[in-house]
Amino acid sequence: MPSTIYLTRNGLLEPLGQSQVLAYLRGLSRDYRITLITYEKDADRADSARMAAMRAECERLGIRWLPQHFRAQPKWIAPALSMVRMVWLLYREVKQQGARLIHSRSYIPAAVAMIVGRITGVPFIFDMRALWPEELITAGRLRRGSLLHRAIVAAEAACLKRAGAVVSLTHAAVAHLQRAYPAAMIWQGVAVIPTCADLDRFVPPPAPPSRIVIGCLGTVLSGWFRLDWLAAFLQVAAESDPDAVFELTTLDNAAQVRAALDPTGQLGNRMTIAPCAPDQVHTVLQRQTASVMFFTDGLSKLGSSPTRMAEILGCGMPVVANDGVGDVAYIIRKYRVGVLAESAAPDAMARAWNALLELLKDPDLRTRCRQAAEEIFSLEAGTTAYAQIYRELTAGEQSCAD
């Protein structure tokens, strides 16, 4: 059984660690001996029961889990120090485990994998997840053209050129990369594997709710979410349907979210804001009618494939979104599984609300949402795509070794 190493700065106890790391590794661990290196935040490490449960799950799957401490501060210094330690740790594990492949999730792990790969000859997967330099610029954490920006872009180009395989979340990001890095991309094939959902768990409920329940899943205080658009849509919906209720499922501070969305308190108890355990998200979605997700657009979001969209569609529910975010608009238009709002203006949101009401009358809507999820976001399809990459790269590594 070939030995591989999966390296990510996400924590396995985070929602993304559960849905976008361990979910794939469950299938891949049947054919590969996997060492998983993650970076866990202090709050998660302090939860000894969950840590123990995760260790037991990894042991059951035959995955060797090496959780590390995540350090975010001091800004830029902590990631740099973490990267140095990561190089040493990855090199040690590659040599000790006889690894034939490194799967690196996102940019810093990919840069580390490139360095270690150059030393050891072991190929790596650059699993991009998103266009990180552009996301940093949009979030105000990086200035375009600065020395640090140029360094990150140079590392991005090098990783794209030297990776054994590149994985992108969206076709929109691939088109951008081909324009931005023609020399690096000329011989590099890119597999598009969007964020997937466990569609055995995210399934439509037996019957839709008796009244309209508008949901919003995940963080809205990230700086990438358009709170003003969400507030405008909720106001239009509340005025149009006095019986409609609104459920925001997020780990964000509830008081901050409510102050941003309902400063005058007009929604009152019609709006709930609460977190949810990752293994219970499907039960929340199944009691809703539609879900809203408005993100900033531009280059930073071309590589985004919102996990929430996969889960929402899996539950047979339409989405209300905006254009310019990865392949979201393309999917909505192709499968007719949602509504695209044009702006935060009241008349634009009124059009979006009315379009949603009209869409909800379609008796085939739930079937189309589920079909779109199965064709694009199924965990099985994603795992199969990763398995193909693993086979090609480990076979090539074995040939070199022979």
Select the more confidently predicted residue: 29 or 379: 29
Percent share of the chain, pLDDT over 70: 98
Mean pLDDT of 195-212: 91
- CB contact at 8 A, 204 and 316: yes
CA distance 57 to 262: 42
- Taking the model in full, what pTM does it have? 0.83
Task: List beta partners, residue 319.
Answer: 291, 338
pLDDT at 16 over 80: yes
H helices of 98-168, in order, are: 107-120, 132-138, 147-162
pLDDT at 127 over 50: yes
The pLDDT of residue 397: 57
pLDDT at 153 over 80: yes
Task: List beta partners, residue 217.
Answer: 249
The pLDDT of residue 396: 62
Taking only Cα atoms into account, the Rg of the chain, rounded to an integer number of angstroms, comes to 22
What is the dihedral sign for C-alpha 179, 180, 186, 190? negative
The pLDDT of residue 349: 98
Task: List beta partners, residue 322.
Answer: 341
| Tens-digit pLDDT profile for residues 280-311 | 999 999 999 999 999 988 888 888 888 899 99
Q: Is 91 exposed, middle or buried (0-12, 13-18, 19+ CB in 10 A)?
A: middle
The pLDDT of residue 399: 46
64 closest CA partner among 98, 20, 114: 98
Helix (H, G, I), strand (E, B) or coil at 98: coil
CA distance 142 to 289: 38
Mean pLDDT of 335-348: 97
Domain 3-196+378-401 has CATH 3.40.50.2000: yes
The pLDDT of residue 398: 55
DSSP state of 190: E
Number of alpha carbons in the 13 Å side-chain half-sphere of residue 58? 23
Mean pLDDT of 114-126: 97
Domain 213-376 has CATH 3.40.50.2000: yes
Average pLDDT, the chain: 93
CA distance 169 to 174: 9
Domain boundaries, the chain: 3-196+378-401, 213-376
H helices of 242-364, in order, are: 254-261, 281-285, 307-314, 328-335, 346-360
Residue 124: how many CB atoms within 10 A of its CB? 28
| Tens-digit pLDDT profile for residues 227-237 | 999 999 999 99
CA distance 263 to 282: 29
Helix (H, G, I), strand (E, B) or coil at 65: strand
Mean pLDDT of 4-24: 92
pLDDT at 134 over 90: no
The pLDDT of residue 402: 45
| Tens-digit pLDDT profile for residues 68-118 | 998 877 777 877 888 899 999 999 999 999 999 999 999 999 999 999 999
Q: Is 210 exposed, middle or buried (0-12, 13-18, 19+ CB in 10 A)?
A: exposed
3-196+378-401 and 213-376, same CATH topology: yes
Element (H, E) at 86: helix 77-97
